[in-house]
Amino acid sequence: MFFTYLRRELRRRRKAALVVASGLALGIALVIVVDSVSAGMGKAQDKVLQSLYGLGTDMTVTKAASPTASASQRPRFQFDARDDGSDEEQSSDRVMVRGFQTLSTATVTRVGQQSGVADAVGGLSLQVVKVSGQFTRGRFQQDSSGGGPGTRGQQPGGEVQGGGAEFDVNNYAVYGTDVTEPALGPLTSSKITSGRTFRTSETDAKVAVADSAYAKEKSLKTGSTVTIKGVEFSVIGIATADSGDAAADLYIPLTQAQTLADAKDKVTTVYVKATDSQKIDSVKAAIQKNVSGTTVTTSADLADTVSGSLSTASSLAAGVGRWLSVVVLAAAFLVAGLLTSSAVSRRVREFGTLKALGWRSGRVTRQVVGEALANGLLGGALGIALGLAGAYAVTAVSPTLQAQLGGGTAGGGMSGPGGLGGPARQAAARTLDVTLTAPVSLTTVALAVGLAVAGGLVAGAFGGWRASRLRPADALRRVE
């Protein structure tokens, strides 16, 4: 009886039911789109952070002191100006630790022993400045108007023309990776697209993996050789960053990097993986307490340095978008409730007759709530369809957002290729392009269903309260 009467009433008042369902559908669809876009923002930001951290890395540990370059640490180059008539090309390499701040490899062991740490591995970030060029001797050009060989007491006139020096500066980043721990570190955020990665046995081998962008610039391929400070390294693989810029132009074994930089048993960054992602904060606190002189940076800390259109859109989705969703939902619920209450007021005679026939107030209320709940479920179905369509449209368009990484010291010199001092800061503040998607999760769909039910109950509460107050005698005296 209940469902038969419910079906007939909804069919008879389908226009009113459609209006109520449409209002709820718009609110629910907006919630789905905002929630999906927010999830897409999170995934996009994760891609940006992975380009700095590397997959599987939960936090990094660096030296607490701010990077400062003393006069003795600044790059110095010395060339000979030969006077043998030759214009031989000269070059000189300087390999320096990026940021000039290092930790002992013993720190890696201490960090790995902390409670909640699953694995810890050290890395050494280097900056190589190569200056190459040549000196050219000038040529003395005699002035034709000056005195000739027959002129006594006069020096031949003329001037030196040409000559000078022309040098080129090649500045690139090298990262020393612990090849025995391939699952951690910045190289994990790149995919080997040619050749292979390091073998765990190549701890002291003269091999290198080149970033694809740098390899293209320098015409490198698998089997090519690169020279760093007079040491030749064989390129065994080409790596392409999953998103944004790579952490370095060249990756070499950690031992080789320490030798080139004269930094034996030193690292610039310790990459840490926690046993439980829910305990990252407690692991961070433990490391800061037990390993003095270090700074621990988590992905949440690093996320604060991300700016640009990605950050703006994320703030909009998380702040304005969600508040807008709440306001629209509240308005939709209120309108649905008012429309249901108004419909009850137009059915006074109907409900009065039902009460006169023996229907109790509770049964009338349940009937009104049932109709409102059906309207809510219909609105939920429409809202889910609209929300999925909106999320699909965002994913299909795939707008490109820009993420600018702030120039802080978080990450311990993990920024991409750059120079020293100012140039390194510019590298840390590089801009990455990230494609936005709007994935819809089952949780979001479940939330939409819950909102549909809630909307129906809110509307039913309005109408049911109004219907329960009707008395048969008063209702029968009223005429629609």
Q: Is the pLDDT of residue 412 over 90?
A: no
- 186-196 average pLDDT score: 88
Range in 69-73, 280-284, 417-421, 437-441 the model is least confident about: 417-421
- Pull the structure tokens for residue 364: 């009338």
- 70-81 average pLDDT score: 55
Q: What is the reported pLDDT for 440? A: 83
Q: Is the pLDDT of residue 447 over 70?
A: yes
Q: Is the pLDDT of residue 478 over 80?
A: no
- Which residues are bridge partners to 119 per DSSP? 273
Task: Tell me if 52 sits within 8 A of 405, measured CB to CB.
Answer: yes
Q: In terms of pLDDT, which residue wins out, 220 or 86?
A: 220
- 463 pLDDT band, cuts 50/70/90, is low
Q: In terms of pLDDT, which residue wins out, 276 or 121?
A: 121
Tell the burial category of 400 from Cβ atoms under 10 Å away from its Cβ (0-12, 13-18, 19+).
exposed
| Spatial CA neighbour of 426 closest among 454, 398, 451, 407 | 407
Q: Is the pLDDT of residue 179 over 90?
A: yes
- Pull the structure tokens for residue 147: 């005195």
- Pull the structure tokens for residue 292: 């003095």
Q: Is the pLDDT of residue 319 over 70?
A: no
Q: What is the reported pLDDT for 326? A: 73
- Pull the structure tokens for residue 140: 């003395």
Question: Rounded to an integer, what distance in angstroms lies between the CA atom of residue 322 and that of residue 391?
Answer: 15
Question: Rounded to an integer, what distance in angstroms lies between the CA atom of residue 248 and that of residue 245?
Answer: 8
Q: Is the pLDDT of residue 150 over 60?
A: no
Question: Rounded to an integer, what distance in angstroms lies between the CA atom of residue 429 and that of residue 180?
Answer: 31
The number of CA neighbours under 13 Å toward the Cβ of 79 is 19
- 107-119 average pLDDT score: 91
- 252 pLDDT band, cuts 50/70/90, is very high
Q: In terms of pLDDT, which residue wins out, 420 or 315?
A: 315
Q: What is the reported pLDDT for 175? A: 93
The CA–CA distances, whole Å, from 410 to 254, 305, 381 equal 21, 9, 46
Residue 462 φ then ψ, to 5°: -60, -55
